[in-house]
């Protein structure tokens, strides 16, 4: 009888450990349930961090005046992984625009949402107050809360582990934003007077 009681306890412990293992695997793989929400939160934080880093670099150049230049390096983990973007947002790219600060979105199809449960658009203000989302500075247009906004779309597979962001203020050049896939860098020229 003692042996039967020990084996039941051992079986119970094994079942508990198996449940913990299955839950851990689901959580680490972001395959379903609460882990997808954790993945969404991680991607949102990284998007906000990227927007903040770009806006801060633009603010630095703007504060220094014409002829200034600054470079920032941003570490990316989730935004460069199309598998993560698909699991969390059903997308495989990021969208960058500038609305009085840098905004980074993870499009779901052609749609971006700045609030609510489907929020996939994150902004960080800058000292350089200008709305470029309705200009030809950016080549692509998506729907943000039902309104068309221009920006640049970058496939996750084209993003590096560390993104180089180069911002300058060259008054002789037009306002421009380019992502160079060969060198994996984002080049920005601001032109407040242009």
For 36-91, how does the pLDDT look when each residue is reduced to its tens digit (9 = 90+)?
888 999 999 999 999 999 999 999 999 999 999 999 999 999 999 999 999 999 99
Per-residue confidence (pLDDT) for residue 22, from 0 to 100 = 63
- Within 10 A of 57 (CB to CB), how many other CB atoms are there? 22
Do residues 175 and 191 lie in contact, with contact meaning Cβ atoms separated by under 8 Å? Answer: yes
Higher pLDDT, 31 or 129: 129
- Give the pairing of strands 121-125 and 101-105: antiparallel
Domain boundaries, the chain: 32-189
Helix H or strand E segment including 177: strand 176-180
CA–CA distance, 10 with 26 (Å, rounded to integer): 24
Mean pLDDT for 7-36 is 63
Do residues 24 and 38 lie in contact, with contact meaning Cβ atoms separated by under 8 Å? Answer: no
Per-residue confidence (pLDDT) for residue 86, from 0 to 100 = 94
Whether the pLDDT of residue 27 is over 70: the answer is no
The pair of structure tokens assigned to 60 is: 């630095």
What phi-psi label fits residue 70: left (phi over 0), alpha (psi between -120 and 50 degrees) or beta? beta
Do residues 80 and 184 lie in contact, with contact meaning Cβ atoms separated by under 8 Å? Answer: no
Per-residue confidence (pLDDT) for residue 16, from 0 to 100 = 72
Mean pLDDT of the chain: 89
pLDDT band at 1, cuts 50/70/90?
Answer: very low
- Which stretch of 9-13, 31-35, 93-97 has the lowest confidence by average pLDDT? 31-35
């Amino acid at each position: 009888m003692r042996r039967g009681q020990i084996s039941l306890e051992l079986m119970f412990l094994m079942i508990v450990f198996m449940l913990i293992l299955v839950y851990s695997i689901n959580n680490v793989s972001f395959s379903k349930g609460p882990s997808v929400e954790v993945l969404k939160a991680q991607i949102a934080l990284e998007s906000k961090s990227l927007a903040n880093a770009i806006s801060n670099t633009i603010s630095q150049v703007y504060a220094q005046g014409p002829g200034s230049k600054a470079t920032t390096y941003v570490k990316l983990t989730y935004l460069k992984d199309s598998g993560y973007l698909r699991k969390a947002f059903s997308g495989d790219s990021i969208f960058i625009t500038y609305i009085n600060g840098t905004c980074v979105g993870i499009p779901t199809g052609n749609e971006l949402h700045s609030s609510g449960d489907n929020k996939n658009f994150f902004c960080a203000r800058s000292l350089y107050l200008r709305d470029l989302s309705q200009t030809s500075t950016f080549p692509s247009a998506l729907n943000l809360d039902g309104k068309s906004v221009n920006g640049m779309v970058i496939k996750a597979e084209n993003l590096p582990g560390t993104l180089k962001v180069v911002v300058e203020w060259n008054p002789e050049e037009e306002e421009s934003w380019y992502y160079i896939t060969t060198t994996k860098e984002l080049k920005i020229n601001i032109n407040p007077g242009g």
